């Protein structure tokens, strides 16, 4: 069941260990497609039939394609929103003193990490470094992917009760070991990685670095029916939305892909889904075509938002965690997510609209509603629809091991989601 869509997804995930790298890779792809980069601090001018993109703070990106006939009185925005960040261990600002003869560096837990999955894995370290060079403050993405670090688990002999339930203290038990005491430390490795001549340790001003799994993504299962990879939540949906946008030519609506950082920590930041990034971008698209605020507000009411975030597949070893009628299965198609308490933004009209897209694309779809005794997660959907008042639907592909360092999904579902998104982007 190998296919080129998943091959491309796995390459994207492996080269995108952090939201910064994900955005840099999407930017590279967009430029290959002749998309034009716009800056928030410059005047914008947009033309019919062209694709543009704008990046905020290096970790959120919005791309949009204007229909060939420009913006007409029936135009609105057809949007897929997803997130670029995933739960992980983030380096704290200052190094630790050595413990015994171990070199360590403390971490903050970013998002809802399945802590146990990070034990005894080979870890790399990537992100953004700020440094002074020639009297100027500069910023660069780095990836230390040829040195491996580790959070070693305690031996069973020193914790005989461990298999009754592992308890991990997020502050004391999750500190990665970087090496043994020596004259060189992590700063020296970072300096080497920056590849800037003459730079010294005190030129390093600030680090925004994240640990991540060193192992490559792969297909899995007897028939390659699975994908095993980190950050499927939510790089899989980020990738699917970009591929669909590239494929489908919009006829009347502006097609928009909005990928936000900080979903896993609540979306309330300048580049998060709770910010003005999407609304100001959409309004500025209208302004390029001499649309007044009145026109923009009308365009919003003709718009549609798909909030795309991975969904929980039915787990064969925990069959009681889904109700028996709402059990999404791997490789059985996109999952429409509903929740009466509005943790998902789907309503019956948006549900029906997406079901029609799936029918048109000849793709099956599934439905998720949680158990009343298990609180469910949320997505950028309710946040963006609350801010903008756009008709919104929550959808995602089924996966297991969500928020583990190594997740698992289906190799057929990815293409089906791309097809469903493309139906919307064609409008
Ligand atoms: Zn997610």
As a whole number of angstroms, the distance between CA 391 and CA 378 comes to 17
Rounded Cα distance between 116 and 42, Å, is 46
Residues of the chain with pLDDT > 70, as a percent, come to: 100
* 377, pLDDT greater than 90: no
Residue 314: name the closest of 393, 367, 363 by CA: 367
Residue 51 and residue 123 in one domain: no
Q: What is the pTM of this model?
A: 0.97
Has residue 122 got a pLDDT over 90?
yes
Q: Mean pLDDT check: name the lowest of 96-110, 134-148, 205-219, 368-382.
A: 368-382
Integer Cα distance of 252 and 49 in angstroms: 11
Range name among 33-42, 92-101, 182-191, 247-256 with the lowest pLDDT average: 92-101
Residues 416 and 344 in one domain: yes
More confident residue, 376 or 140: 140
Same domain as 334, residue 251? yes
Residues 128 and 207 in one domain: yes
Task: Tell me how far the alpha carbon of residue 404 lies from the centroid of ligand 1, in angstroms.
Answer: 12
The DSSP line for 309-357 is --EE---TT-GGGS-TT----TTS--EEEE-TTSSS---HHHHHHHHHH
Ligand 1 mean position, distance from CA 93 (Å): 26
Q: How far, in Å, is the centroid of ligand 1 from the Cα of 266?
A: 11
Mean pLDDT over all residues of the chain? Answer: 96
pLDDT of residue 294: 95
Dist. CA 223–CA 246, nearest whole Å: 29
- One domain, residues 415 and 358: yes
| 186 lies in some domain | yes
Q: What is the pLDDT of residue 135?
A: 94
Residue where a domain terminates, one of 152, 181, 213: 213
Cα(380) to centroid of ligand 1, in Å?
A: 9
* Average pLDDT, integer, range 320-348: 94
**Residue 234 CA to ligand 1 centre (angstroms):** 5
Distance 410 CA to ligand 1 centre (A): 16
Expressed in angstroms and rounded, the spacing between residue 271 Cα and the centre of ligand 1 is 16
Indicate if the pLDDT at residue 77 is higher than 90. Answer: yes
Distance 264 CA to ligand 1 centre (A): 7
Q: What is the pLDDT of residues 131-189, one digit of tens each?
A: 999 999 999 999 999 999 999 999 999 999 999 999 999 999 999 999 999 999 999 99
**How far does residue 18's CA lie from ligand 1's centre (Å)?**
14
- DSSP calls for 354-375: HHHHHHHHT---EEEE--TTS-
Sheet holding 88-91, edge to edge: 107-110, 88-91, 204-213, 123-133, 136-149
Distances from the Cα of 7 to the Cα of 1, 10, 380, angstroms: 11, 5, 27
Burial letters for 10-42: b for 16+ Cβ neighbours within 10 Å, e otherwise? bebbbebbbbbbbbbbbbebbeeeebeebeeee
For residue 98, pLDDT beyond 90: no
Centre of ligand 1 from the C-alpha of residue 310, in Å: 6
Question: Cα(86) to centroid of ligand 1, in Å?
Answer: 7
Residues 139 and 205 in one domain: yes
For residue 135, the domain's CATH number is: 2.30.250.10
| pLDDT at position 95 over 90 | no
Cβ–Cβ < 8 Å for 286, 299: yes
Is the pLDDT at 378 greater than 90? The verdict is no
Ligand 1 midpoint to CA 236 (Å): 10
- Please give the distance, rounded to the nearest whole angstrom, from the Cα atom of residue 35 to the centre of ligand 1: 27
* Gap from CA of 409 to ligand 1 centroid (Å): 13
Ligand 1 centre to CA of 344 (Å) is: 12
Residues 173, 120 share a domain? yes
Centroid of ligand 1 to alpha carbon of 365 (angstroms): 19
Centre of ligand 1 from the C-alpha of residue 94, in Å: 29
Task: Tell me how far the alpha carbon of residue 114 lies from the centroid of ligand 1, in angstroms.
Answer: 14
Q: Per-residue confidence at 291, pLDDT binned at 50, 70, 90? A: very high
**For residue 130, what are the domain limits?**
88-213
Q: Is 203 strand, coil or helix? A: helix
Q: What is the DSSP letter of 150?
A: B
Same domain, 166 and 234: no
């Amino acid at each position: 069941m190998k296919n080129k869509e998943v091959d491309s997804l796995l390459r994207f995930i492996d080269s995108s260990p952090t939201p910064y790298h994900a955005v840099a890779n999407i930017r590279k792809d967009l430029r290959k497609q002749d998309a034009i980069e716009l800056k928030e601090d410059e005047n914008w001018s947009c033309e019919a039939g062209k694709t543009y993109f704008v990046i905020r703070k290096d970790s959120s990106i919005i791309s949009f394609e204007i229909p060939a006939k420009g913006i007409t009185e029936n135009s609105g925005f057809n949007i897929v929103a997803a997130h670029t960040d995933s739960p992980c261990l983030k380096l704290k600002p200052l190094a630790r003193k050595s413990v015994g003869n171990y070199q360590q560096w403390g971490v903050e837990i970013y998002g809802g990490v399945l802590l146990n999955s990070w034990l005894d894995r080979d870890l790399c370290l990537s992100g953004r470094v700020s440094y002074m060079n020639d009297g100027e403050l500069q910023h660069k993405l780095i990836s230390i992917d040829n040195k491996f670090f580790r959070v070693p688990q305690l031996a069973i002999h020193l914790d005989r009760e461990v298999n009754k339930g592992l308890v991990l203290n997020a502050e004391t038990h999750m500190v990665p070991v970087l090496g043994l005491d020596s004259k060189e430390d992590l700063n020296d490795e970072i300096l080497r990685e920056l590849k800037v001549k003459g730079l010294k340790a005190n030129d390093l001003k600030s680090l925004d670095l994240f640990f991540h799994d060193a192992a490559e993504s792969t297909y899995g299962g007897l028939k390659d029916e699975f994908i095993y990879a980190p950050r499927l939540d939510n790089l899989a949906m980020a990738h699917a939305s970009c591929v669909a946008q590239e494929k489908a030519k919009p006829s009347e609506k502006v097609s928009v892909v909005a990928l936000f950082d900080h979903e896993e920590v609540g979306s309330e930041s300048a580049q998060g889904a709770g910010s003005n990034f999407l609304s100001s971008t959409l309004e500025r698209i209208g302004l390029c075509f001499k649309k007044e605020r009145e026109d923009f507000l009308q365009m919003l009411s003709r718009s549609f938002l798909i909030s795309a975030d991975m969904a929980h597949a039915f787990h064969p070893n925990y069959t009681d965690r889904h109700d028996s009628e709402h059990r999404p299965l791997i490789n059985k198609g996109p999952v429409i997510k509903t929740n009466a308490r509005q943790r998902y933004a789907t309503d019956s009209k948006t549900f029906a609209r997406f079901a029609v897209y799936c029918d048109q694309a000849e793709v099956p779809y599934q439905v998720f509603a949680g158990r009343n005794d298990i609180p469910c997660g949320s997505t950028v959907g309710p946040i963006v629809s609350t801010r903008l008042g756009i008709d919104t639907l929550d959808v995602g592909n089924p996966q297991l091991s969500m928020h583990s360092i190594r997740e698992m999904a289906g190799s057929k579902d990815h293409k089906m989601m791309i097809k469903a998104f493309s139906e919307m982007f064609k409008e």
